[in-house]
Each structure stands twice: as C-alpha cells, then as structure tokens.
Amino acid sequence: MPERKEKYKKVAYYHGCALEGTAQPYNTSTRAIAKKLDLELVDIENWNCCGAMEVKNIDPEIQTYLSSRVMSLAHNGMGQDVVMAPCNGCYHNLKKAEYDIANSKKSRDVVKKISAKADHPVYEAGQVETIHALDWIKFGYGEEELKAKIKGGLKGLKVANYYGCMYTRPRHIFPEKDQGGDSESTSQPHYMDDLLEIAGAVNVEFPLKTACCGGAHTLSDSDTSTRLVLNILQAAEAAGADVIATECPTCHSGLEMHQIRALKRLSKETNVKIVYFTQLLGLALGLSARKVGIHENVSNSIPLLKSRKIA
Amino acid sequence: MRSVADIGKALDAPLPPSDPVAAATFLLFSGEEILEHWLLAHDKAPTDELKEGFRVLALHRQGARGDPSFNACRETARELVYHYNLIRLEPEHQDMPKRLVMMLLVAKHLYLFVSGKMEVAGLGEFCCSSKPIRLNSA
C-alpha cells in the first residue's frame, strides 16, 4: 500500500477526448481534487485517441496501437510509469492494449510496424501501469488520509454508484481485480462506494451498478438507449437515491441526455441528479460547486446540493 | 414461448400484489425467456441445465459463448437471481414490495439489453419468424 501511495503521487494524466468536451466537468473536478490533495497530474503531450469504440470495432489491432502510443509517450517521452485515465473508455482500452501486447504476437507485430512508421519508440508490455481515477485517489492519497481531509462532507446524501460496463469488463484485461483483500471486484465494484462513504454519503443498494447504459448505440438506436437509461434512473429512484454518482463520461452524458429524452419521448419524468464522483468528493473536501464544475453539468443538482448545505 | 414483444408488454404491466413469490417466479421466468430468444436467434438450442441452481444463469453463460460483449448483462442476470432469492426466502419481509419493484426493474433491464442487442444485430424484430426476412433483405 505505501508503495502505491508513493507511485501514484505523480502520474501521467491521460484525460482523453471526452474530458475535453462533453465531460469537461469531470476534468475540472479531477484537476481540482489533485490540487486539493497535493497529487500531481502531468498531462501527456501530443496524446491521441485511445481508439474508443469506433476504431476497435473496425480493427482491434489499430486500437491496440493507438493506445500503445499513449503509453509509449508516458513511458518513453515523460519517464512516467503510471498512467491515470479517468474515462472508462480510455482506461478500458489502455488495459486491453496492455493485455494484447503481452499476449498476442500479432498485436506486437502491428504495434511494432506502425510505431516504426510513426517514428516513435515501441511500447513494451509492462512499461506502465494504467490506473483509474478511483485507484488514484483510493491508493494515491489513501482512505484514512481522505477521511481526515473531509470538510463538511456529503451530509448523508443518498448516492447510487453507477460504474457502467467498461470499468470491469472483460475480466481478463484487469488481472489486478478480483484478487481479494483491497482489490476491486468485477462483479460488485465498490471503490466509488468506499470513497463516497468516507466523504459522508449514504450508498444505496443499487442492483444496476454495472448494467449497460446503451452508450454504444446512443446515436444508432437512441430509443433503446433511452429505455435502458430510464430503467437505470428509475431503479436509482426506487433505491432511494438523491443522486447517481458516475465515473464514466459516456454513461454520464447518456444518463443526462436520455433523462431529458425520456421525458420528451416517453413522458417519463425522473428527478434523480447525475454527478461525477469527483465532483461529490470535491464538494466534500470543501471545494466550491463552481470549482468542481457542478454548473457545467446538464443535470441541475445545484438546488438539491444547496438545500442539503453541501454546495 | 411468448414473443419478445409480449415479454416486454408483460414487464410493463403491474405485478399481481397478492403473491410475491409467484410474481418473483414470473420475473425470473421472463429473464429465462428473453435469453432463450437470444439463443434461438443465434440458432442455438437453449439449455435446460442449471448453473448455481438457476437456468437463467446457464442460459446467460450459453448466450455469452463466442460473444463476450454479452457479458455486459451477466451481473443483471445474477441480480435477478439475487432478488428472486430475497423474495422467495423472506416473502413476509417488510421490504418485500420494494424488493419486488427492484426485481421488476432488473428483469426489465435484461429484457431491454437483450432485445436492443438483437435489434442492433439485425437478429429479428422481436419475433423469430422475421429473422429470415431480415437475412434475405441484407
């Protein structure tokens, strides 16, 4: 544990494309937390797309290369051995690339060939460790230390923690999970629950915490996405949640947009608010709502947070 | 076996309030049925085997073979079983109505995920008989 604390104190920060666009509040709040907790984020310069879903669906080897380039930049360009990716899509893809490079000669050959063509050092398996923002705070700062740092806290706010599908799947690309002790569970993830409980939230029992939000076909089949999201929102409300805490930009924007669409298209209204977990942590640490970008969310949680004297 | 559309309609209708175990059994069975549709659309005969005592888990495992993305509903199937067990073991529990509502939402999610995936994959408009039509027009 102390080893990880030292290791995660300064990490290469790979925010990816979503955190520069629709998930800007996730970026804002992550950076604000880093500053507050004295954790150093070093931006990866000249980064590229991780390959997201689009490239992966067409050519998984190209996705492996794209993610490998990001890891190569961190290791060979910056001398960093930890990459922190708050976006579930980026995190998932870097982990997948790591697995493919370690286990598939074909993947290694493709990465080698394109890296040579692009004139940058080839990424070799094991040169960096990719972690999520949840690992970064839980181990880089520490739970006991976080407890001591909480100011005001979340005052019993009822939270449904929603992890989405990419944080834990497929299992084989996350060899560090399901190892018992303080490792994350792929079937019942709990790191976000742990951190928000420390921050003063009451976590509700939420059976759809890893269920699909329909993010992959939000444009090609919006109605299916709307129905899936509506079901998630209704389940969170039935569980008694005031807010849904998210840690995936795709899930977050899907929940926000389809909450509105469900009202317009299906006349189904839900009132649960959608907030990034980093925003909730930031508020609990005494940062202002503006500092953690609450006003940038589509889902307006300001009246709720003000009424509870959290913001 | 009911059509996919009929399963969806049944999950939108109110559950019989008088017998929670019967309602939970109906929801568990709905989960099995939607997974059977997924398998049939892939020309696989749905298994009658049980996994950890439940056919819905065996059907899910069968459905995910060769299609790892189908594991995105693995936990949903497991939650369905969990809620079924909760209701069956403690039908008089004060939280029973809440548990039943939650089980309904879990069953609905399994239905929405599988039926949506079938539609996106062009496997039929919630009716096995339409599959050849789709395939011929492709």
Q: Could you report the per-residue pLDDT of A144-202, keeping only the tens digit for each? A: 999 999 988 999 999 999 999 999 999 999 999 999 999 999 999 999 999 999 999 99
Residues of A in contact with B101 (CB under 8 A): 238
d(CA B35, CA B46): 8
d(CA B112, CA A234): 14
d(CA B52, CA B58): 8
How deeply is A34 buried, as exposed, middle or buried, from its count of CB atoms within 10 A (0-12, 13-18, 19+)?
A: buried
d(CA B57, CA B78): 7
> A25 falls in which pLDDT band (50, 70, 90)?
very high
For chain A, the straight-line distance linking the first and the last C-alpha, in angstroms and rounded, comes to: 33
Within an 8 Å CB–CB cutoff, is residue A165 touching chain B? Answer: yes
d(CA A81, CA A303): 42
R_g of chain B, CA atoms, integer Å = 15
Q: B79, A207: Cβ pair inside 8 Å?
A: yes
Per-residue pLDDT of A271-280, as tens digits, reads 999 999 999 9
How deeply is B119 buried, as exposed, middle or buried, from its count of CB atoms within 10 A (0-12, 13-18, 19+)?
A: middle
d(CA A59, CA A188): 31
Q: Which residues contact A305 (CB under 8 A, 6 or more apart)?
A: A283, A289, A294, A311
Predicted pLDDT at B134: 43
Q: A235, B109: Cβ pair inside 8 Å?
A: yes
Min CA distance, A206 vs chain B (Å)?
Answer: 9
Within a 10 A sphere around the Cβ of A271, how many other Cβ atoms?
A: 10
Local structure of residue A75 (DSSP, 8 states): I
Within an 8 Å CB–CB cutoff, is residue A173 touching chain B? Answer: no
Structure token pair of residue A81:
């051995």
Q: A207, B68: Cβ pair inside 8 Å?
A: no
Amino acid at position B58, single letter: A
User: Shortest CA distance to A170 belongs to which of A93, A56, A255?
Assistant: A93
Look at residue A256 and give its three-state secondary structure. Answer: helix
Mean pLDDT taken over chain B: 87
CB A137 within 8 A of CB A37: yes
Predicted pLDDT at B124: 53
Backbone phi, then psi, for A56, in 5-degree steps?
A: -60, -40
For chain B, the straight-line distance linking the first and the last C-alpha, in angstroms and rounded, comes to: 27
Per-residue pLDDT of A99-133, as tens digits, reads 999 999 999 999 999 999 999 999 999 999 999 99
Structure token pair of residue A30:
């992550």
Per-residue pLDDT of A232-287, as tens digits, reads 999 999 999 999 999 999 999 999 999 999 999 999 999 999 999 999 999 999 99
Partner residue facing A228 (CB), from B79, B101, B116: B116
Min CA distance, B129 vs chain A (Å)?
Answer: 22
Within a 10 A sphere around the Cβ of A179, how many other Cβ atoms?
A: 11
User: Shortest CA distance to A128 belongs to which of A75, A197, A86, A166?
Assistant: A75
The total domain count for chain B is 1
User: Shortest CA distance to A238 belongs to which of B1, B20, B53, B98?
Assistant: B98
Does pLDDT of B125 surpass 80? no
Within an 8 Å CB–CB cutoff, is residue B68 touching chain A? Answer: yes
Within an 8 Å CB–CB cutoff, is residue A224 touching chain B? Answer: yes
Within an 8 Å CB–CB cutoff, is residue B101 touching chain A? Answer: yes
Give the structural domain span for B16.
Answer: 4-137
Return the bridge partners of A275, or none. Answer: A245
Within an 8 Å CB–CB cutoff, is residue B5 touching chain A? Answer: no
Q: Please report, rounded to a whole number, the percentage of residues in chain B having pLDDT higher than 70.
A: 86
Which chain B residue is nearest to residue A225, measuring alpha carbons? Answer: B116
- Mutate: best of A208, A219, A220, partner B, most B CBs <10 A: A208
A205-209, A242-246, B121-125, range with the lowest pLDDT: B121-125
Domains of chain A: 2-131 (1.20.1050.140), 151-307 (3.40.50.11810)
Q: A238, B83: Cβ pair inside 8 Å?
A: no
Q: Which residues contact A272 (CB under 8 A, 6 or more apart)?
A: A160, A233, A236, A237, A241, A242, A243, A244
Local structure of residue B128 (DSSP, 8 states): G
Structure token pair of residue B83:
């809620």
Could you tell me whether strands A82-84 and A40-43 are parallel, antiparallel, or unpaired per DSSP bridges? unpaired
Q: What is the ipTM of this complex?
A: 0.90
Q: Is the alpha carbon torsion for B45, B51, B54, B60 positive or negative?
A: negative
CB B59 within 8 A of CB B46: yes
Q: How far is CA B65 from the centre of its chain?
A: 17
